[in-house]
Amino acid sequence: MAAGPYSEKVMEHFMNPRNVGEIENADGVGEVGNPACGDMMRLYVKVEAGKVSDAKFRTFGCGAAIASSSMLTEMIKGKTIDEARAITNTQVSDALGGLPEVKIHCSVMAEEAVKAALDDYSKKHPG
Amino acid sequence: MAAGPYSEKVMEHFMNPRNVGEIENADGVGEVGNPACGDMMRLYVKVEAGKVSDAKFRTFGCGAAIASSSMLTEMIKGKTIDEARAITNTQVSDALGGLPEVKIHCSVMAEEAVKAALDDYSKKHPG
Amino acid sequence: MAHIFFDHISTTPVDPRVIEAMLPYFGEKYGNPASHIHDLGQTALRSLDAARGSVARMVGAQPGEIVFTSGATEANNLAIKGAAAGSKDRRHIIVSEVEHFSVLNALLPLRASGFETTVLHVDHDGRVDPDDVRKAIRPDTLLVSVMHANAEIGTIQPVSEIGRIARERGVLFHTDATASAGHIPVDVEAIGADLLTLSAHNFYGPKGIGAIYVRKGTRLESMLDGGFQEGGYRAGTENVPGIVGMAAAAEIAMAESVGWADRLAPLGRQLWDGLEASIPLLHFTGHPKERLPGHVSFWVEHAEGESLLLLLNMQGVMAASGSACSSNLRGHDEEDLVASTVLKAIGVPSDICTGSVTFSMGKDNTGADVAHVLSVLPAIVSRLREMSPTWLDYQKQQGG
Amino acid sequence: MAHIFFDHISTTPVDPRVIEAMLPYFGEKYGNPASHIHDLGQTALRSLDAARGSVARMVGAQPGEIVFTSGATEANNLAIKGAAAGSKDRRHIIVSEVEHFSVLNALLPLRASGFETTVLHVDHDGRVDPDDVRKAIRPDTLLVSVMHANAEIGTIQPVSEIGRIARERGVLFHTDATASAGHIPVDVEAIGADLLTLSAHNFYGPKGIGAIYVRKGTRLESMLDGGFQEGGYRAGTENVPGIVGMAAAAEIAMAESVGWADRLAPLGRQLWDGLEASIPLLHFTGHPKERLPGHVSFWVEHAEGESLLLLLNMQGVMAASGSACSSNLRGHDEEDLVASTVLKAIGVPSDICTGSVTFSMGKDNTGADVAHVLSVLPAIVSRLREMSPTWLDYQKQQGG
Ligand SMILES: Cc1ncc(COP(=O)(O)O)c(C=O)c1O
Ligand SMILES: Cc1ncc(COP(=O)(O)O)c(C=O)c1O
């Protein structure tokens, strides 16, 4: 494979992102970031029986942002809401084999997107 | 020949200086320069019938100083006293195919040596 | 896989003839010109003199007016700081806002020590209005520095007009010809430059060597103090192989660069037209006509620049971006990701300017390279847009 | 004709293995490390990282503490001026009188801007007394700069002692290891250096590249402002082939330099003894023991230095002189002929010090080279003396 600035894992997720798209009538949608800052992520989750049964994303952003989004969706699928909420940016970046220092914020964006999507879910499904 | 910092003519005179030595009972001796300044020249002349019949030198100094000394002795031999006095440093340096700017003073030293030697001659042979 | 280098503005491959010219100066003719008392030193010194002549000829200067430096950054720093240090009373400097960081940042210590600076705006095409230069000149103006051509957007500045104005007003004129020299004609008399920056690796010479033209009589203080080299403007043992290489590159450029430009200009036009026809919401940057031959720059909406470059690279196409995200992946924190000041200067909206791309062709690129790029880029843009939430919203909006 | 290079102190031939390591970085791996988003740039960046590791290892540093420069002159200027610019209150600098001009002259603009300097004397062997350093340190002392080894007279300074004193007193210590690195062990911890200068062309690497070691945490302002390279200490596109070459030279030196020194030290001794035995009125300069291996320097009475070198060169022997007359044949007037400050410092009488010679051997010199030099030099000295009026007078005087 070509020598990119990223780890092989990042490049693999960037080239073949998992779960791109949107979920019709998603149970929760979270949007974080801002194109002005170079990246923006919209995360859709489906929740069944207290677990994240499906997740899809659309991201505008750099290689790290897209790979972080892809990795995140893989990580939260099948997790309980609490487990998904507990995912940290470090876990995302570790799962990707590390990110350049200046790109840590991309994994932070992924972490924030889950929280935003689950907040949205909680708001729509109170109690 | 090796590529020296000097013209071929300078190197030729430096390698094969003409008229090195001293004239016993010289009619005039001129000494100019100072080893502290890097060069010193002693010029001996023999004068016959108002002409410089012989000239020899000893010089402590760089390549340009030795070549200038050598060239000078060649130039004054056979000249009248007035002709020899009229020789300029530029004539010496031109005859050598030119000298580096910082070495012009070596040809000046040669010019001054003739004048000093002829002054000495005049002093010893008044009238 | 394809291997298409469209990033000549960042650097160029060293021409094989240049390599051949340099090679003997490493292991055989390795003398130090300062040791010119012996054969090896003398050989080095003579090569240095000859090389200075070639580089001087390239820009219409006298050999004694060429000072070799370690590259364009040093030359720009020397031009600005050296002129400032050599100035008695004049403490005002004028630059354009699209100068390279090695000009803009060289001003920082000067400002701290009391210099005043005027940073001229550029128009939508990235050009300085010579009239703005005229208006900005004050009685205490020392120097005007406006680059010849911009690397990122390709725009060529009206340097001759600016040079004329500076001359009329008795102000020094420096122009950074890093991106232009070797590609389009650069002549210090035509430009009216007192100081002019050159960089070898930008015209098929080696990295680590550049030069500054210093018009005879220009007051310039050295930045590197030490030995007697470079007429007192720049101490340090000369990079003889680099200098010989720069001279060889200059000779090649003098002989061939008109031909390169004649070939690259239509290739650039072809790329431009092809992009325009195949990618919607694509915006070209820089001046449409007054630009470097073979240089095509643009930004696209709804696709981020680094991602574009990564995907292009996967297709064997190497290019550059002024996007923040790709600017400095080696920095220590997010603040090191600085969006291009040039794109901001020409009014690209900051919320979407991240999708910028600079394609810069070189003498060895072909029509097939252009065709390949045109065959892969539309799909790359579409792919990224399909992934982008902003594109989705845009389409919904368009759909009504 | 013989071809004997005894002027390694001025520069060295690039080792063939170094040339081989560099070559691919001109025409193939020509990427700019700043363009690390694509393959060619990424390759360049990785090579840069690896090279930094090699150079760091050579002096016992961390890779992040190595800043590549265009050479020793830039490194010395950066050490002195960069530390000065980074200093808040401390405005006193201590150097030795035998430092290279790139240290001594770097002080000139600082003095003009209010810095005070102490220039330490050296003893007859050219050594600084560490106690003098201790005494010279004041509460406002910022930096001590004492070179590791002197090029002209070969003397090695007691840098570890000086480094220890500087550390104790909380003062920065810079040492210029241009002449020593790659030839004798140089370790930043053993020396206690905060800043250390390196030059590739002095240890079989290419010209135009050097480095400065900057101990982590040392305050140093950049001199070349611009892009993001070299951790902010030094802007400008990296000289990738040069850096790769310097690293290759460092690797070779790490593996082989102990062997070189073991061979050169006795060759140097042989030359020393031979000269002593065959040439009257010859005076060695520098420390007899604490000196660079294969380095023999001296002056002779009644024979001028440039003439000695010219005649040696005619016999195929290339050497250097600290003599005024050979110092700068390219200058514009006599004032550019500056006699060695080093010879003055060690008390060589100024009226006869013009006959100085520095023989500096390198890894490829042999015993046969020494024998050749010993076979030609006595006759050369005699020949010049025979021509000299001072020798005539001296002999008359001796004769009674
Ligand atoms: C001790 C020392 N430092 C610095 C330098 C300057 O090196 P460069 O001219 O390669 O920049 C020299 C050059 O001879 C030197 O001997
Ligand atoms: C216009 C211009 N000037 C100066 C520079 C600095 O050149 P270097 O990094 O080779 O010193 C660049 C580099 O891209 C440039 O584009």
Q: For the segment C303-324, what is each residue's pLDDT rounded down to a tens digit?
A: 999 999 999 999 999 999 875 4
CB < 8 Å to D39, chain A: 2-4
pLDDT digits (tens, 9 = 90+) for B46-104: 999 999 999 999 999 999 999 999 999 999 999 999 999 999 999 999 999 999 988 99
C277 CB burial (10 A radius; 0-12, 13-18, 19+): exposed
Position D328 scores a pLDDT of 56
Q: Which residues contact B35 (CB under 8 A, 6 or more apart)?
A: B60, D351, D352, D354, D390
Residues of chain D predicted below pLDDT 50: 324-326
Superfamily of domain C4-10+256-397, CATH level 4: Aspartate Aminotransferase, domain 1 (3.90.1150.10)
Distance from CA of B73 to the nearest CA of C (A): 26
Could you list the pLDDT tens digit for every one of the 400 residues in chain C?
Answer: 789 999 999 999 999 999 999 999 999 999 999 999 999 999 999 999 999 999 999 999 999 999 999 999 999 999 999 999 999 999 999 999 999 999 999 999 999 999 999 999 999 999 999 999 999 999 999 999 999 999 999 999 999 999 999 999 999 999 999 999 999 999 999 999 999 999 999 999 999 999 999 999 999 999 999 988 999 999 999 999 999 999 999 999 999 999 999 999 999 999 999 999 999 999 999 999 999 999 999 999 999 999 999 999 999 999 998 754 445 555 655 555 556 788 889 988 866 556 789 999 999 999 999 999 999 999 999 999 999 999 999 999 998 6
* Dihedral angle sign, alpha carbons of residues B16, B17, B21, B23: positive
> Chain C interface, mutation test: which of D78, D176, D212, D224, most C Cβ atoms within 10 Å?
D224
Higher pLDDT, A1 or C355: C355
Query: What's the average model confidence in pLDDT over B118-123?
Result: 96
**pLDDT, position D351:** 63
- Residue C341: CB atoms within 10 A of its CB come to 15
Kindly report the nearest CA distance between residue C357 and chain D, in angstroms.
12
- Banded pLDDT at A104 (limits 50, 70, 90): very high
One fold for D4-10+256-397 and D16-252? no
Domain-wise residue ranges, chain D: 4-10+256-397, 16-252
Q: How far apart are CA B125 and CA A53, in angstroms?
A: 124
pLDDT for the residue numbered B2: 42
The reply to whether residue D43 touches residue A3, judged by beta carbons under 8 angstroms, is yes
Q: How does strand D210-214 pair with strand D195-199? A: antiparallel
In Å, the largest CA–CA distance within chain A is 50
Residue D83, amino acid: A
Question: C-alpha angle C43/C248/C250, rounded to 5°?
Answer: 130
With CB atoms and an 8 Å threshold, state whether A42 touches C354: no
Rounded CA-CA distance C225/C234 in Å is 7
Is A62 a residue of the active site? no
- Per-residue tokens: C19: 């390599």
Instruction: Tell me whether residue D89 is exposed, middle or buried, using C-beta atoms within 10 angstroms of its C-beta: 0 to 12, 13 to 18, 19 or more.
Output: exposed
Query: Does C324 sit within 8 Å of A34, measured CB to CB?
Result: no
Please pick, among A8, A22, A37, A50, the residue that the annotation labels catalytic.
Answer: A37
Judge whether C248 and C21 are in contact, CB under 8 Å: yes
pLDDT of residue D332: 57
Catalytic residue among C261, C325, C337, C352: C325
Alpha carbon distance B109, B92 (integer Å): 10
pLDDT of residue A2 exceeding 50 = no
Instruction: Give all strands (DSSP E) within C59-176, no chain letters.
Output: 66-69, 92-96, 116-120, 141-145, 172-176
Are D313 and B4 inside 8 Å of each other by CB? Answer: yes
The reported pLDDT for the residue numbered C334 is 56
Q: pTM of the predicted model, to two decimals? A: 0.96
Q: Which atom of ligand 1 lies nearest, measured to the CA of D148? A: 1
Q: Look at the domain C16-252 and name its fold.
A: Aspartate Aminotransferase; domain 2 (3.40.640)
Among C85, C102, C312, whose Cβ lies nearest the Cβ of D225?
A: C102
Question: Packing angle between helix D367-387 and helix D305-314, nearest 10 degrees?
Answer: 130
Is the separation of the CB atoms in C258 and C246 below 8 Å? no
DSSP state of C15: P
Task: Provide the pLDDT for residue D355.
Answer: 75
How close is the nearest chain C Cα to the Cα of B6, in Å? 9
Rg (CA), chain D: 22
What are the φ and ψ backbone dihedral angles of D323, each rounded to 5 degrees? -65, 150
Sheet holding D356-360, edge to edge: D282-284, D295-300, D356-360
- Chain C, residues 6-45, CB within 8 A of chain B, namely 36-37, 39, 42-43, 45
Residue with tokens 């010194």: C45
Mean pLDDT over each residue of chain B, to the nearest integer? 93
Measured between beta carbons, the chain A residues lying within 8 angstroms of D43 are: 3
